A = this chain, B = another copy of it.
């Protein structure tokens, strides 16, 4: 399996985040991608290639132009204002406020487009963000060219980014951009299987009203897990998309037995959909040692996961998402790919 890897990913390095124990170093850090790449090489997964730069038009098939413009230009605007800290909002619209009015100021636009406090932009983030989308697009291109599988080693990740909002360490939704690229190049139906510990709220929102892209999400119950405000079982899709979104929230402490049952349910739904291609949003924060998650999967379970995905027998694009047990991230992520190839 060919891996697409963008060295520019390190240009995005969040200075920290404010969580339950105060202001702490960011969990989503450059080391993550480097360790996965090292493991790809160690097991000899296959060729490693750099992404091809794509036109922004591919991004704009999925994302709002105002949001993309903010991501692209916020750093320069921030510097011009003389601000020195991470570029992030600090207040949000809630019930009774004007959710749909876009303020003109930078602080106001950040509040409008970014939905959390842990996803700051830095001076050089945009280059990494764009390269991450290019990584997914380049890998999608391999499937379009006939490859049976490819691995987009994206960083920053993408599945929390919606059409016009970003957060959860995610800026552009790499998996959604790749799925649309597949749709635009011959695939009549695409399925997205999101196995990250956290619900892929962005992916769900992007395709919620569509019946040509099925979204299946396995994740920690949002009642107690990020993003808290989406990802419940009673979200089936809407309009033409009704029946084409499947959430399988699982309780904290879920180990392989419980996980496998839900995974097979999701796989059965995808098989019934009969997609022309499959995109896997690959997070490995389901690992028992993950510092911010609460499932109990172990190394070998990722081999099994890959093997079960393989049973669908579809052209499959793996897109890297989360996973914060950094020392183990390479083993776990690449085990999914090895399990897929060996399955």
Q: Complex formed: what's the CA distance from A81 to B98 in Å?
A: 34
A99 closest partner in B (C-beta):
B95
CB distance from A241 to the nearest CB of B (A): 12
Question: Which chain B residues lie closer than 8 Å to A78 at the CB level?
Answer: 20
Instruction: Check if A88 is an interface residue, CB within 8 A of chain B.
Output: yes
Given known A97-B201, A224-B103, A229-B98, contact A168–B91 (CB-CB < 8 A): yes
Question: Which chain B residues lie closer than 8 Å to A162 at the CB level?
Answer: 94-96
CB distance from A247 to the nearest CB of B (A): 12
A204 closest partner in B (C-beta):
B96
Instruction: Check if A5 is an interface residue, CB within 8 A of chain B.
Output: no
CB distance from A293 to the nearest CB of B (A): 13
Known: A18-B88, A18-B90, A104-B223. 7 other contacts (CB 8 A): A19-B90, A20-B84, A91-B168, A91-B226, A92-B229, A98-B232, A105-B223
Determine the interface band of chain A, counting residues with CB < 8 A from chain B. 35 or more
Question: Which chain B residues lie closer than 8 Å to A17 at the CB level?
Answer: 90
Q: Complex formed: what's the CA distance from A307 to B322 in Å?
A: 60
In order of increasing CB-CB distance, the 10 nearest A-B pairs are A22-B85, A96-B205, A93-B229, A105-B224, A91-B116, A20-B83, A92-B92, A108-B228, A94-B115, A97-B229
Instruction: Check if A15 is an interface residue, CB within 8 A of chain B.
Output: yes
Question: Which chain B residues lie closer than 8 Å to A205 at the CB level?
Answer: 95-97
Q: Is the CB of B88 within 8 A of A115?
A: no
Q: Is the CB of A20 within 8 A of B85?
A: yes
Question: Which chain B residues lie closer than 8 Å to A208 at the CB level?
Answer: 96
> Scoring A residues 313 to 330 as 1 if CB is less than 8 Å from chain B, else 0, what string do you get?
000000000000000000
Q: Complex formed: what's the CA distance from A224 to B17 in Å?
A: 24
Question: Which residue, A18, A118, A208, has most C-beta atoms of chain B within 10 A?
Answer: A18
CB distance from A240 to the nearest CB of B (A): 16
Q: Is the CB of A107 within 8 A of B228?
A: yes
Q: Is the CB of B228 within 8 A of A94?
A: no
Question: Which chain B residues lie closer than 8 Å to A90 at the CB level?
Answer: 17-19, 116-118
